[in-house]
Structure 1
Amino acid sequence: MRGQDPGGLNTTRRSTVLGAVAAALVVISFGALSQDGASPKIVPRLTGDEPPMADHRIPPLDRPVVDDIRRMRNYPEQPPIIPHAIDGYQLTINTNRCLDCHKREFTEGSGAPMISVTHFQDRDGQVLSDVTPRRYFCTACHVQQTDARPLVPNTFQDANAFGRKR
């Protein structure tokens, strides 16, 4: 037939098979050359020259800020921070202590802000009667404010500092 070679494979398929075989041979030969008996090198830690598997003293956790003052967000769409202690809060598949105060029907009695309406939308934009499973674990996005010192200098300026003034 036209377009076929006598071996039964057309030329594009043959070149693809030959390319794959050549690549496999290169990988195998490189692997054999690299295993010349040299031991692997251990990369030193970024924080010092201590052995990687040694026991290290863990620094104490920073103190949570528990003044219940709602902080201004640093950028649009930033999840609000948690302005109160959450030690011992249970967040499991069966229970979410955050919802005891922040769910719509409990906000009047607790004085807590209601969770965003976006937490009731599924991935297709359909509004549900309860919190969507993908927004159920609050601490995946919301963090507790602490008195930790910055790890790097911060030169952040709010958007109001830029642009034309009225």
Structure 2
Amino acid sequence: MIVFSLTAGTAALAQMVPELSGPPQQMDQIAAEPMPKWVVDDVRKMRAYPDQPPTIPHSIEGYQLSVNTNRCLSCHKREFTQDSGAPMISVTHYMDREGQMLADVSPRRYFCTACHVPQADVRPLVGNSFKDMSELGVKPLGSD
């Protein structure tokens, strides 16, 4: 009797679990979608939400970003921006976790592409309904 109930329980469980392997399919080659074009117009983009890291408006193809080398800093570091014309990285990138100023870029802010990304010319995957406070009718302090 006990053996019967275990067998019946296993059969019921097998009906609930979907088949893990389907019928064999041919391995047809499917054409891949073309890679999207990067936006490389060097125009600063409007941010989608407050405190969004700025996007990268130029090509970073071939940029080396490793423990020993950061090509982004050759233009965006404080001492190089006058010659390069690039915007300086935020002063927050020169602070440690406790908010103390450092002489150089903080190691936790060294890998730029962890937050900053280039943009591709594609349709957004998800709609953005963000509205700025000024669009919601909120007036700045002292405007009355």
TM-score (norm 1): 0.64
Are 2:59 and 1:80 aligned?
A: no
Deviation at 1:157, TM superposition (A): 2.6
Residue of 90, 93, 96 corresponding to 1:119: 93
Aligned pairs, how many? 125
Residue of 105, 108, 111 corresponding to 1:137: 111
Structure 2 match to 1:158: 132
Deviation at 1:62, TM superposition (A): 1.6
Q: Quick one: higher RCO (CA 8 Å, sep 6+), 1 or 2?
A: 2
Q: Secondary structure at the match of 1:105?
A: helix
Deviations 1:12-49 (A, max 9, x none): xxxxxxxxxxxxxxxxxxxxxxxx595x75779xxxxx
Deviations 1:40-84 (A, max 9, x none): 75779xxxxxx8xx9876533321111111112222211001010
Deviations 1:76-118 (A, max 9, x none): 2110010101111110000000001000110000000000000
> Separation in 2 of the partners of 1:148 and 1:42?
37
For structure 2, list consecutive stretches of 5 or more residues without a partner in the other structure: 1-9
Amino acid at match of 1:120: Y
- Structure 1's consecutive aligned runs of 4 or more residues displaced over 4 angstroms after TM superposition are 40-44, 54-58
Deviation at 1:159, TM superposition (A): 2.7
C-alpha contact (below 8 Å) 2:49/2:130 kept by paired residues: no
C-alpha contact (below 8 Å) 1:74/1:158 kept by paired residues: no
TM-score (norm 2): 0.73
Are 2:85 and 1:92 aligned?
A: no
1:152/1:42 Cα in 2 relative to 1: closer, same or farther (>3 Å)?
farther
RMSD: 2.9
Larger CA Rg, structure 1 vs 2: 1
